[in-house]
């Protein structure tokens, strides 16, 4: 179910659609080479834009929508719209310039995206400076359940959520719940956030009934046991609702082809442009520093939990514990050269050969050695979900500070959470964002890179 829109969304979205159509038809007249005002072309080109936008949710931008999601949707919109423009141009006149059509679609989408992002950031600034475009909210539940969301509302005023009050359910009687309902009505609260862990089924029914009968938006905060997935969807078998635990973006055949093509091109660039001259240089340096091979090959779990051979530049002295014991800070096994190549992540570069061979991807959940993977598969909930996709040289969890040594259970739990989010919300733009973040963190220096 879609989230209830804000107060001003009813005006902003129609205005955005109108401006977008004006931009499209203006550029069509100058670039497409098609008779714009003949044979209903304006109608067809405008309808194509709106139909594609409706299908992709191009105008479904909320205050909590991430910029990367907006960019990802804009990219899909641009590709689909360009294909439609080629089809229309061929139908109306076979004498057209494909360069002009690409110029038209590129400039149109670019200008529309600039306008869209302007509104997005203007509203965020407007909420901070003037307190407008805001929604009044209350939280219902024990402190441990609602505190994370409470801090989010308080620390992110640009989202426009004004926290009015937190109701701690120490009292579970009917009178207290009625007081909550009276407060919500008297203070014109827009949204109610309830902790499912702290409510009985009868109380949940009361909140649902109250929200439905008073036009209030009701949302529930699940605990970890109740949280199915960030991508949980309802499917219907006839009239019977069935919950699908998760949809994995990379299960789509088109997405698989896009990601594989990107992996091949990117890995070839690194192998030819960097490794072709780096391997012989490092080969000499590593050999002079310590006895042993240039490459370190380790068995790790990959797609569908299958074992593959992962390549790295050797950064440690040859030892019997390499395949059973993770590296720790100031590990005596690390060589002098090894300290540098591990700190700069140069030791990971041979994994681009794994990418080219199809065992790995440039971006994905980081693979762990077999012994450690088997341990966490039993110990950590949902750990094996990471193996629904190919492992990566870098990943979302690594850009969020969860790389290297697992010092506490929190490290591996958060790593799994980010990995699951990635495989469910994959997009090419997200991959590019993670790659650039990885490069930035590497150049800046990562404390956990050792």
Per-residue pLDDT tens digits of the chain, which is 450 residues long? 344 444 445 577 788 888 888 888 887 766 655 555 555 667 788 888 888 888 888 888 877 788 888 888 898 899 988 888 887 777 666 555 677 778 888 888 999 999 999 988 888 888 777 767 788 889 998 888 888 888 888 888 888 888 899 988 765 566 788 888 999 989 888 888 888 888 888 888 888 888 878 878 888 887 655 444 555 655 554 455 555 555 677 877 778 888 999 999 999 999 999 999 999 999 899 888 888 889 889 899 898 888 999 999 988 888 877 777 777 777 788 888 888 888 888 889 999 999 999 999 999 999 888 888 888 888 887 788 888 889 999 999 888 887 766 677 778 888 888 888 898 888 888 899 999 999 988 888 766 665
pLDDT of 153: 85
User: How many other CB atoms sit within 10 Å of the CB of residue 422?
Assistant: 24
Task: Write a three-state SS string for the chain.
Answer: CCCCCCCCHHHHHHHHHHHHHHHHHHHHHHHHCCCCCCCCHHHHHHHHHHHHHHHHCCCCCCCCCCHHHHHHHHHHHHHHHHHHHHHHHHHHCCCCCHHHHHHHHHHHHHHHHHHHHHHHHHHHHHHHHHCCCCEEEEEECCHHHHHHHHHHHHHCHHHCEEEEEEECCCCCCHHHHHHHHHHHHHCCCCEEEEEHHHCCHHHHHHHHHHHHHCCCEEEEECCCCCCCCCCCEEEEECCEEEEECCCCHHHCHHHHHHHHHHHHHHHHHHHHHHHHHHHHHHHHHHHHHCCCCCEEEEEEECHHHCEEEEEEECCECCCCCCCCCCCCCCCCCECHHHHHHHHCCHHHCCHHHHHHHCCCEEECCCCCEHHHHHHHHHHCCCHHHHHHCCCEEECHHHHCCCCCCCCCHHHHHHHHHHHHHHHHCCCHHHHHHHHHHHHHHHHHCCCCCC
Q: Are the C-beta atoms of residues 45 and 33 closer than 8 Å to each other?
A: no
C-alpha–C-alpha distance, residues 13 and 10, integer Å: 6
C-alpha–C-alpha distance, residues 396 and 437, integer Å: 9
Q: What residue segments make up the domains of the chain, in order of their start?
A: 9-130, 135-227, 251-444
Q: Are the C-beta atoms of residues 402 and 414 closer than 8 Å to each other?
A: yes
Per-residue buried b or exposed e for 288-301, using 16+ beta carbons within 10 Å of the residue's own CB: eeeeeeebbeeebb
C-alpha–C-alpha distance, residues 136 and 138, integer Å: 7
pTM value surpassing 0.75: no
Beta strands 361-363 and 233-237, pairing class: unpaired
pLDDT of 216: 84
User: How many other CB atoms sit within 10 Å of the CB of residue 322?
Assistant: 16
pLDDT of 239: 52
pLDDT of 278: 92
In degrees, rounded to 5, the angle at the alpha carbon of residue 8 between the alpha carbons of residues 5 and 12 is 95
Is the domain spanning 135-227 CATH 3.40.50.300? The answer is: no
Which one, of 130, 127, 148, lies nearest residue 63 by Cα?
127
- Start-to-end CA distance of the chain, whole Å, equals 46
User: What sign has the CA pseudo-torsion 229, 389, 431, 258?
Assistant: negative
């Amino acid at each position: 179910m879609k989230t209830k829109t804000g107060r001003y969304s009813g005006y902003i979205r129609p205005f955005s659609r109108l401006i977008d159509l004006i931009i499209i038809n203006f550029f069509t007249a100058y670039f497409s080479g098609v008779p714009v005002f003949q044979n209903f072309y304006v109608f067809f080109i405008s309808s194509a834009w709106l139909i594609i936008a409706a299908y992709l949710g191009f105008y479904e931008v909320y205050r909590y929508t991430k910029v990367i999601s907006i960019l990802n949707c804009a990219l899909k919109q641009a590709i689909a719209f360009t294909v439609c423009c080629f089809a229309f141009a061929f139908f109306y006149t076979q004498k057209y310039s494909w360069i002009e059509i690409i110029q038209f679609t590129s400039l149109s989408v670019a200008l529309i995206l600039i306008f869209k992002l302007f509104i997005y950031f203007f509203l965020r600034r407007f909420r901070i400076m003037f307190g407008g475009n805001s929604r009044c909210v209350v939280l219902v539940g024990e402190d441990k359940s609602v505190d994370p969301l409470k801090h989010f509302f308080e620390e992110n005023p640009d989202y426009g959520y004004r926290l009015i009050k937190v109701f701690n359910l120490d009292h579970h009687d009917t009178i207290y719940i009625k007081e909550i309902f009276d407060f919500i009505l008297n203070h014109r609260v827009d949204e109610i956030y309830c902790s499912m862990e702290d409510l009985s089924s009868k109380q949940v029914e009361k909140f649902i009934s109250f929200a439905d009968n008073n036009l209030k938006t009701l949302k529930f905060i699940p605990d970890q046991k109740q949280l199915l997935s960030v991508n949980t969807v309802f499917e219907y078998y006839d009239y019977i609702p069935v919950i699908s635990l998760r949809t994995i973006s990379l299960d789509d055949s088109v997405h698989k082809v896009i990601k594989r093509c990107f992996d091949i091109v990117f890995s070839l660039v690194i192998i030819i442009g960097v490794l072709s001259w780096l391997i012989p240089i490092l080969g000499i340096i590593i050999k002079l520093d310590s006895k042993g091979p240039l490459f370190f090959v380790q068995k790790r779990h990959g797609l569908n939990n299958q074992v593959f051979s992962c390549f790295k530049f050797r950064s440690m002295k040859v030892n019997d514990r390499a395949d059973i014991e993770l590296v720790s800070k100031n590990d005596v096994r690390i060589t002098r050269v090894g300290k540098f190549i591990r700190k700069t992540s140069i030791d990971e570069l041979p994994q681009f050969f794994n990418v080219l061979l199809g065992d790995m991807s440039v971006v994905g959940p980081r693979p762990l050695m077999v012994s450690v993977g088997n341990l966490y598969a039993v110990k950590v909930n949902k750990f094996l979900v990471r193996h629904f996709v190919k492992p990566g040289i870098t990943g979302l969890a690594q850009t969020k500070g969860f790389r290297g040594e697992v010092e506490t259970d929190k490290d591996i739990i958060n790593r799994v959470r980010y990995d699951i989010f990635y495989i469910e919300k994959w997009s090419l733009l997200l991959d590019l964002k993670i790659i650039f973040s990885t490069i930035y963190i590497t150049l800046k220096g990562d404390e956990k890179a050792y």
